[in-house]
A and B are shown apart, each in its own frame.
Chain A
Amino acid sequence: MKYALYTGCVAKGAGRELLVSAKLACEKLGIELVEMTDAACCGAGVIGEDNPIVADMLNARTFALAEEQGLDIMNICTTCQGVHRKAQRKLDGDADYKARVNAELAKDCGREYKGSVTVRHFYEILLQDYGLEKLKEKVVQPLEGIKVGAFYGCYASRPPEASDLEDPDDPDELEKLIEALGATPVEYDERLKCCGFPIIMANKKNSLQLSGNAIVSAKDAGADIMATPCPLCHLNLDAYQPEINSRVGQRLDMPILHIPQLVALALGVPKSELRLKTHIVRPTGTLAP
């Protein structure tokens, strides 16, 4: 198994622990990764709300780069994944538009998106290509006794047309993954809600309240930690937790792990290599860094 690893911006910036953990987890699983050091930002939906064709060109270029290597893409951010999937659907569904995007792309870099690449998130690849049974065999450090609330965020399940989840309205894929790692999944009301990251600059109060509601909901359901496939959710839920505490009027102390960190832990990667110390809310107990 070999994939082109699309890092996105956060795993290269404020969430470097994610990149490290995804690579270490894949190494343990025997999944080969080629980091796409020449791929640009997916636009995160933001460039698309300014100039849609520029956003589509950025993503068509990324797809073309992977196609040139003959590899499918692995994402480690659900926002990147959602934006990629949306761009791909738009291009694949409209031959005239795709031709226009390719013509503009040819002017700037001489590349062409042909339409042969598959783009999926790390966890989707684990579930679909690798298989949970095989993953279970590789678990050497089962996360026994740890109650994990999966936080899906928005892009994993919405829009449903672009989601790989079997039932986007009531998914259980991350819970199954958590179970395969030996931990105990905890279901809670807000697991499919928005973390508020997109409006942290435009409306901080609302953004923090959204994050706060999510953490309180997970905590009330008994979660020891939360785990998310989206580093933007991680940033809002973790880096802003002191502000969130004041907003919701309680000290939440909720560690927010990246899904690849959780996988790497169960595969026996030493905690010290997963940069858990860089989290604003460090995990405690057996997961304490």
Chain B
Amino acid sequence: MASSKVTFRIQRFDPEKDEAPRDQDFQLELEPGITILKALNKIQAELDPTLALRYSCGSAICGSCAMKVNGHARLVCKTQVSDCVKDGVLRVGPMGNLRVLKDLVVDMEPFWDSLDKVKPYLAPDPAQAAPEKERLQSPEEFLRIDPSTTCILCGACYSDCNVLEVDKSFVGPASLAKAHRFIFDSRDAETTERLRKISEKTGVWDCTHCGECSTRCPTEAKPLERIEEIRVKAMTEGHHGNAGARHVLGFRETVGRRGLLDENYLPARSVGFFNIPGLLSIIPVGLRMMKRRKNPPLRPHSIDKVDEVKKTFARFEELRK
């Protein structure tokens, strides 16, 4: 294959000089098979030595080179230029949800802090004497945490998380994947406490399921899948005292009864039947919908052959095994 001309449109920002970020174009003649990191190195070496970026291993291990390519977070050392050129242009910018220090370099401090919130280390049973060598687990036990241990702390998930865009107090996807790693670790003795804590506000139920984290994650950590596993465990072990879990219970109840969701029942079930301010807060939207005849039918209907589905729900707990 012949070499090709690519325009790199790079977001530049130097807080000491610039009021706001700006785009700068660099034209490069590139051989096929080159990664975006190599191309950025070339720009830095040949066109503009002031371009700031972070990288180290060059082989998708250290996690330091995550940045936005065409608007989505990726490891640039793992991404081919040819896969990302659109109409001759490739856009590069810093990760989202983190403050830009210079050009493509962001302040990772809030990301590290978010990990601290989930006690990211093993808490063995203090009543048990420490073993002489290491704490063992079986291959099967390890397989449960295998995916979450692959996280390389690159921050790509954090960068693109939709909830973090509107609320920085959310614990975030990497932390939830990290929490998973210990909640499901056979050697950890604080599973219940971890589940209780993660079920609180800013925790596992604040995730809106946008799927960005798993889509951007360059490893098998895939935070959304881990979030789903944490939620299943929290539900199974009875951590039901929050709006997220109540919503799930309501869903289970109405679908188990009628085969379909009863949208009149669910909101009240979710905010909690005894939560008066919560109940009052959902009245305006209900009235508004009623006025427009948009509200769900007050007498909810069932699917045909609903008994088939009821039988499955009657075996709900048995099927968990």
Interface residue ranges, A against B (CB under 8 Å): 9-10, 12-15, 17, 37-41, 43-54, 57-58, 61, 104-105, 107-109, 111, 154-155, 158-160, 169-170, 193-194, 196-199, 201-207, 209-210, 213, 239-240, 242-243, 277-280
Contact = CB atoms under 8 A, between A and B. Distances in A.
Contacts of B167: 203, 205-206, 209
18 contacts: A10-B263, A13-B300, A38-B303, A40-B255, A40-B303, A41-B261, A47-B255, A50-B235, A50-B252, A54-B312, A57-B312, A104-B315, A158-B210, A159-B211, A169-B71, A170-B71, A206-B167, A280-B289
A279 B291 CA distance: 10
A213 B294 contact: no
B5 interface: no
B23 to A, nearest CB: 15
A49 B260 contact: no
Interface residues of B, number: 70
Contact of B259 (A14, A41, A155, A205): A41
B26 interface: no
A51 to B, nearest CB: 6
Contacts of A58: 255, 309, 312
A104 B319 contact: yes
Contacts of B288: 239, 242, 280
B285 A243 contact: yes
A53 B319 contact: yes
B42 interface: no
Contacts of B249: 50
B270 to A, nearest CB: 4
B31 interface: no
B14 interface: no
Interface in B224-272: 228, 231-232, 235, 242-244, 246-249, 251-252, 255, 259-263, 266-267, 270-271
B259 A40 contact: yes
B233 to A, nearest CB: 10
Nearest to A155: B211
Given A158-B212, A206-B208, A277-B292, A170 B86 contact: yes
A45 B267 contact: no
A54 B260 contact: no
A160 B311 CA distance: 34
Identify which of A38, A50, A111, A193 gathers the most chain B CB atoms within 10 Å of its CB.
A50
Contacts of B295: 14
Identify which of A107, A169, A207 gathers the most chain B CB atoms within 10 Å of its CB.
A169
B117 interface: no
Interface string B276-302: 000001001100110011111100110
A46 B214 contact: no
Given A51-B316, A278-B294, A169 B243 contact: no
Contact of B208 (A13, A199, A205, A239): A199
A169 B72 CA distance: 8
B303 A13 contact: no
Nearest to B321: A53
B116 interface: no
A259 B24 CA distance: 38
Contact of B309 (A40, A160, A199): A40
Contacts of B211: 154-155, 158-159
A240 B285 contact: yes
B149 interface: no
A203 B312 contact: no
B119 interface: no
Contacts of B292: 277-280
Given A61-B308, A277-B292, A51 B319 contact: yes
Nearest to A240: B285
A28 to B, nearest CB: 24
A13 B296 contact: yes
Contacts of B248: 46-47, 49-50
B184 interface: no
A15 B311 CA distance: 28
Interface string B142-182: 00000000000000000000110111001000000000000
Contact of A159 (B215, B232, B315): B215
Contacts of A155: 211
B54 interface: no
Interface string B44-72: 00000000000000000000000000111
A100 to B, nearest CB: 10
A198 B308 contact: no
A108 B206 contact: no
Contacts of A108: 308-309, 311-312, 315
Given A14-B294, A202-B205, 10 more contacts: A9-B260, A12-B301, A40-B260, A41-B261, A43-B251, A154-B210, A159-B215, A202-B247, A206-B170, A240-B285
